[in-house]
Structure 1
Amino acid sequence: MAVPDIAADGIILELDGLSVGYTDEPVVVDFSTAIRVGSVTTVIGPNGAGKSTLLRAVYGLTRHFAGSVRFLGQAIERLPPRERLKLGIGFVPQGRCNFPLMTVRENLELGAYTLRGAAAVTAAVEQTLAQFPLLASKLSVLAGNLSGGEQQILETAMVLEAGPRLLLLDEPSLGLSPANQDQIFATIAELRGRGLTILVVEQNAHGALQISDTGIVMELGRIFMAGPAAEVIADPRIKVAYLGGEGPTGARLLAPCGPGSRRGLPPWPPQPPRAGAG
C-alpha cells in the first residue's frame, strides 16, 4: 500500500471510534483523536488505563473490535505490524529491547535490518551516529553495560534507522534516574525539532507534557481529557492527580484501575435493545 509523503490536511494519524484489546473485551473503548505532522502528543493516565494498549494498537499488536486507524489518510487497522513498519511507523516498546551482549555498533547494524545491502546499512549507522553523538564514543561497549538512559537512546536510534514518519514511545523514562529522564526528554524535543511526529505514553507527566504540543489523559480505557499540553498541565484535576498538587479534600480525582478492569464501562459488545423496550 502506497501512502503520500505529506498529509494534505496536516494529519498523520487519525483514530476514530477505536476499540481494541487482547481477549474477548476491549481495553481501549471508542477512542478518537487526530495527530498533526511534526507534533508531540503525550498520553498519561493511571496504571491500567489502556495507554500502552493504545500504542500497541497503532502498531497492530492488539485485537481490533471497532473503529478505524488511518495513517496519512490510508486505513491500516487490518494491516500486520511489518506492513505498518514499512509504511513509516516505528515503535519503541516499554522496557529494555536491545541486545545486551552485543556492542552498540552491532545493535545499530541490526536496527538497519530492513535496508538492503551492506552500504545502505553502513550509511544508516553513520547517519545515526551523527544524530546521536553520545553513541559514537561507545560503539565497542556492550549495550548491557550502558546506563539506562543510554540504552533508551540506543533503542530509539535503532528504530529511527528504518526512517519512520511516526515514532511511538512507550514509557521511555520508566525506571530511569532524574538525570537520565531529562536526557530522554531532551532527545524527544530534539527529534521534534527535526520534524518527526511522536506519540508517547509517559508516567512522568510533567516532564513529557513540557515538551509536547498535545496532552491526552486516559482513564478506564477512554479519554478523560485532551487538549493543548499547556492547558492539560494547568488543569487543577491533573495537577492533583499527576503533578503533585493538592485538591480541596486531598482526594485523588482520577481513580486508578487495575489491568483488565472495566469499572464504569458499558458491556462489550454493546447489547441490542430488549424487545418491547421503548
Structure 2
Amino acid sequence: MIKKEQFILSGSKDKTISGDLTYDDKHTNQPCILFVHGFKGFKDWGAHNLVASFFATRGYRYFKFNLSHSGVTAQRPDDVTDLYAFAENTVSMELKDVDTALNYIAHTYPATPIYLIGHSRGGALVVLKGMADERIHKIITWSAIADFSSLWKKEQEEEWITSGRIFVENARTKEKMPLNSTLLEDFKAHREEFDILHAAAKVKIPWLILHGDDDVNVKFSVAQQLAQAQPRAQLQKIKGGNHVYGANHPYTEKELPAQLLEVCEKSLSFLKSPDL
C-alpha cells in the first residue's frame, strides 16, 4: 500500500523546507531517492506525485521537497506565490537546503543507499552535490542546465546590479517574477565553486543524464556538454521529449505522460543496474 508522510525542516534564512516521503510499506530495505526540483518548480508541480508513486511501488523511498526560497507556501502548495522569498533565492541557499534534506534522510535511514534525481536547475545542484558528498551512491539528471548564468541574459547584469532586481516571466501564468541582485552576486562570488562542467568532470559515482531532443528551454546540446565533461556518465536521449517530458501544471491525468514514463523507466533501470 502506497503511503505518504510529510516532513518540515529548517531551511535557509529561517524559511522552512516542506517535504514528503512516498513509499510502499510492503517493501523492506528500501533505498532512498531524493528529488530536487528546478527553477520556478516545486515538489507538487505537474506529475511529480505520480513519479513518486512510480518509484515507491518499485521498492524505493521517494523524498521530494520545496527549496526554502521556492516561493511556495503551506497555504498555496500548488503554485509560486511568495515572490519576496522567490526573489531572495541564491544558489548557496539551495545547496544548503539540499544538504539539509540529505542530512535528514541519512539520519532517519542510516546505512541506506541514497540516490539523487534533479530536474533542470535542480539537476545542476545534484551534480555539485554528487561530486563531493560521499553519502550519495548514484545521481540522475533530467533536463539539467550546465551553467547557472544561463537562466538570465548577460546583458541584464549591469541593470540588475544598478536597480537591484530583474524580472523573469512565468511561462504558464505570464506573471513577472522578481530576482534580487543577491542571486547574481552570490553566483559571481562562488563562480568556481558553482562551475557545473568543472564539477561534472570530478563526479566519480555512476551518473545518468536524460534529456529530451525537443527541449526548447535547455537544448539537448547542453546534455552533450555534461557528457563530454564526464565521459563515464551515461547519456540517453528522450526522443521528442520537451523540458518536462509531456507533463504540465496542473496535471490531472491518472497516468504518467509517455515520455515522462520513459524517463522513469530508464532511471529505474539505471538505479537497479550494478555499479560499474
* TM-score of the two chains, using structure 1 as the length reference: 0.29
The structure with the larger Rg is 1
More contact order relative to length (CA 8 Å, sep ≥ 6): 1
* TM-score of the two chains, using structure 2 as the length reference: 0.29
